[in-house]
Amino acid sequence: MKTKRDGVVLLLALLCLLALEVTAVGLHFIAQQELRVAGSSARDLELRLAAQSAAARAVAQWPAEQLDSMGLHLTIPVPAAGALSTTGIRSSASIERLAPHLFLVRATAVSPLLESSTLGLIVATTTAAELAAEVTAAVRSNGAIHVGAQSRVDWGAVGCRGAHALEVASLADLDMAGGALAGPVASADSGGTWPPNALGSLTIERLAELARASAALASPVSLYEHDVTLSGSAGNGILVVLGDLALDGGTFVGIVMVRGALSLTGGATIQGAVLVDGGPLVLDDATVTFDSCAITASLDQPRLLGPFRPRSRRWIPLF
Amino acid sequence: MRVIKLMLRARDGYAVVEGIVVLGLSVLIGAALSAALLTQSRLARAVAERIAHNDAARMTLLVLPREIRLADPDRDVRASSADSLAGRWVRSSGTICASQGNLTWLRLRGIRAPDPAKDSLLLVSSQQETVHVLSAFVRDQAHCAASADEQIYRTTLSATPPDGAVAMIFESGTYYLSQRALRYRLGGEGRQPLTEEFLRDGLSTLQLVHADSSNVARFRISITLKPGLQYSTGRTEGLTVILPNGRAGS
């Protein structure tokens, strides 16, 4: 009798223990699964970020000379873009030339478990001549233009001449108040479209970004974030003003881009082109002469020619 | 013999009491066992329910961000509301590898083979993006070599293709957070559920924020799971995805 009772209790206790063990094992299994899923998500994110970094490094280490001499649809690896993270993720990048000035950077990151993530980055380049061809008049403006006494807008000398002296949104905005005009005038009224805030893919925002990201002496662009008055100064290259600009005397050779109003007075001379997004543009005892040669020279700087973001999207899903 | 007789006599005297004690103990042990079994059974159901809820949440928070992460919110998303997102979703991508007039060869790799019946072609060049019908779309390796996992296709475009471009094969579809589940509708088909019906309508929302002068574009998804049978409160999970193709000023 004693032995039988002990056996029943033992059996019941074992059953209880078994039930608890099954529950514990089940919970442990579920916890493991959740942990694996969370780990997989974390690795996925890490892989994606590693691939993005590899693509960015490939752009930073842009092998311009090698790519310039490469045929279309060919691909080269960019060893300098490769990396091995502390978690064992190996990333690499290659560049395929799609068109003379269009490239696809393929970046791949692979984990030690051979999981991988791949994405693409579209990168464009250009030439100074291509950019310069976007500027075709001494003055291009969206707003009103006042050409006062002793002022002149010239379409330039033969060889470096533009298509027009003036390109305006509307002929009604043009006020020739005693100034001289050498060369034809074109207007958006007659079907022309000339964005006064961009040189092809090089927008005024992009130029400002480049200036901000560069050390002052190495900057390809002279940038003024707000209104500015310059008196009797001489300069060359690309001048970008995000506010209003007043130029009193002095000489500038190259491109002047102004988002607000522009006032040229006191014998100020610009040899190149003036692009005014806002307006008005007032010339009072000032001269603007188109010069495609000076424009090309001002644009012939590696940092302006790419690699840069094209007008279309940038990141591409690759599989 | 005498001793045995004495013992029998003694036990005889306590038979009823012993019976009551045994019965009582049996009831107690039985009740404890039943309670343990019931608790375990409830726990098992709660765990199973929790797993199903987690799966629905995980699937919703995985599929939508994956689709939109590299999308351009201004071009790829056709419409968005609090409970739906319509757009074009990339299924394979690659490049133009050759062209002759309107004949174009594409080198592609993707999650499935392109289907001219439901897919279209997006060509991305440095200047513009153009959408094309997959016309006379066949496999043809005559002009390009394919790498591992890649396929070469030939198609006839309605216009001369750009000099070089990235090619993306996409389908047009709409994701919904409705009728208690994440659903997907392709073309004129019905809304197919991608998860179990554990989401709470009205409290599970989508929000697409386009880029402005100070913010990049982003996509916010928030889901609320309905209360389970085994636990009374639901829970809310959310995720915000930054969209690198929707930069401010782009």
Q: What is the pLDDT of residues A252-307, one digit of tens each?
A: 999 999 999 999 999 999 999 999 998 899 999 999 999 999 999 999 887 788 78
Distances from the Cα of A185 to the Cα of A140, A157, A259, A261, B39, angstroms? 10, 16, 22, 20, 89
Is B93–A318 a contact, with Cβ atoms under 8 angstroms apart?
Answer: yes
* Interface contacts A/B by beta carbons within 8 Å: 103
Residue of A20, A23, A102 with shortest CB distance to B164 = A102
DSSP assignment string, chain A: -HHHHHHHHHHHHHHHHHHHHHHHHHHHHHHHHHHHHHHHHHHHHHHHHHHHHHHHHHHHT--HHHHHTPPTT-EEE-GGG-EE-TTS-EEEEEEEEEETTEEEEEEEEE-TT--EEEEEEEEE---HHHHHTT--EEEEESS-EEE-TT-EEE---TTS--SEEEEES-GGGEEESS-EEES-EEEGGGT----TTEETTEEHHHHHHHHHTS-GGG-SSEEESS-EEEES-EEEEEEEESS-EEEES-EEEEEEEESS-EEEEEEEEEEEEEEESS--EEEEEEEEEE-HHHHHHHH--HHHHSSB--SS--EEE--
Give me the amino acid identity at A284.
Answer: D
pLDDT at A245: 95
pTM of the model: 0.72
Helix (H) and strand (E) counts in chain B: 1, 13
HSE-CB for A213 with a 13 A CA cutoff: 8
Q: Is pLDDT of A139 > 90? A: yes
| Rounded mean pLDDT, A175-193 | 83
**3-state SS class at B61:** helix
Quote the crossing angle between the two packed helices B2-68 and A2-60, to the nearest 10°: 20
Is B95–A73 a contact, with Cβ atoms under 8 angstroms apart?
Answer: yes
A163 φ, ψ (degrees, to nearest 5): -80, -30
- The full length of chain A comes to 319
Q: Write down the mean pLDDT value for chain B.
A: 87
Encode pLDDT of B147-188 as tens digits.
Answer: 888 999 999 998 888 888 999 999 999 999 999 999 999 977
CB atoms within 10 A of CB A79: 12
CB atoms within 10 A of CB B160: 10
Q: How far apart are CA A287 and CA B211, in angstroms?
A: 41
Q: Are A94 and A115 in contact (CB under 8 A)?
A: no
Q: Write down the mean pLDDT value for chain A.
A: 88
Q: Is pLDDT of A163 > 70? A: yes
pLDDT at A160: 86
Encode pLDDT of A207-239 as tens digits.
Answer: 898 888 877 667 778 999 999 999 988 899 999
| Rounded mean pLDDT, A17-24 | 82
Residue in chain B closest to A317 (alpha carbons) equals B70
Enumerate residue ranges in chain B where pLDDT < 50. 249-250
Chain A interface, best mutation among B111, B126, B129, by max A CB count within 10 A = B126
pLDDT at A286: 95
pLDDT at B19: 87
Distances from the Cα of B40 to the Cα of A26, B26, B29, B84, angstroms? 11, 20, 16, 40
A242 φ, ψ (degrees, to nearest 5): -85, -5
Chain A hits for B97, CB-CB cut-off 8 Å, are 73
Chain B hits for A27, CB-CB cut-off 8 Å, are 47
Is B165–A120 a contact, with Cβ atoms under 8 angstroms apart?
Answer: no
Q: How far apart are CA B142 and CA B107, in angstroms?
A: 12
A242 pLDDT band, cuts 50/70/90, is very high
A35 φ, ψ (degrees, to nearest 5): -65, -40
Please identify among residues 171-210 of chain B the ones whose CB lies closer than 8 Å to any CB of chain A.
none
HSE-CB for A270 with a 13 A CA cutoff: 32
Q: How far apart are CA B101 and CA B103, in angstroms?
A: 5
pLDDT at B17: 84
HSE-CB for B217 with a 13 A CA cutoff: 21
Is A96–B125 a contact, with Cβ atoms under 8 angstroms apart?
Answer: no
